[in-house]
Amino acid sequence: MYKVFFNEYCISFLLNKEISINDNSARDFGINCVGDFFNILESIEKGNSVTEKDVFCFLSEVMFHKIFENFTSLPAAGGVVKNKKDQLLFIKRLGCWDLPKGKMEKGETPEKTALREVAEECGICHHEIVKKLHSTVHLYRSPYIKACNNWVVKKTFWFEMTLKEDECLTPQTEEDISMVRWFSRDQLTMVRNSTYRSLKGLLDIYMK
């Protein structure tokens, strides 16, 4: 199973229909051509017919690869930063709590991008990577692509980091970040209720 996020929808790709879906909150589709998948995305965009937030697409491996040939790939990387008090660092962007992240520049590794983006968006510099976390993938339309097909697939590589020294936090306001704040583990429910669905799986790791 391969999962991507589009808006607040979780779209799962399955290569056969042997898995039974017994969930009234889910919707399943058979994908026989590339257009079938884009019809689903357009229906979600318009708020038509697809009301369930969990979507399952059954298709062949060949069709899976054909679909993603129609997307521009823009990889990104970011971090879940912990301090000595075991608090986690979040940014507030456009009214939602988020994790610091950004697109990979040419020649960068995911690790280098993650460290750079955390530094830029939070104003810290004494952070280092502890371990790799699972990646997330989301789809969106880019206003910067001047073509009819402006669909983008963004895979974000996530890393757990530690902040070695206490530092003042400075939000990168030119990236629409209004606040940078530490949260203790018992405050993560508040963050989870005001963040993107694609990040909730990452948060759940630290809420256990």
How many Cα atoms are found within 13 Å in the side-chain-facing hemisphere of 54?
7
pTM: 0.92
- Residue-level pLDDT, tens digit, the chain, 208 residues: 899 999 999 999 998 665 555 665 678 899 999 999 999 999 999 887 787 899 999 999 999 999 999 999 999 999 999 999 999 999 999 999 999 999 999 999 999 999 999 999 999 999 999 999 999 999 999 988 877 789 999 999 999 999 998 899 999 999 999 999 999 999 999 999 999 999 999 999 998 7
Domain-wise residue ranges, the chain: 2-68, 75-207
Secondary structure (DSSP) of 20-41: ----TTEEEEE--SHHHHHHHH
Pick the CATH number of 75-207 from 3.90.79.10, 3.30.70.1450, 3.40.640.10, 3.40.50.1220: 3.90.79.10
The region, left, alpha or beta by phi > 0 then psi within -120 to 50, assigned to residue 28 is beta
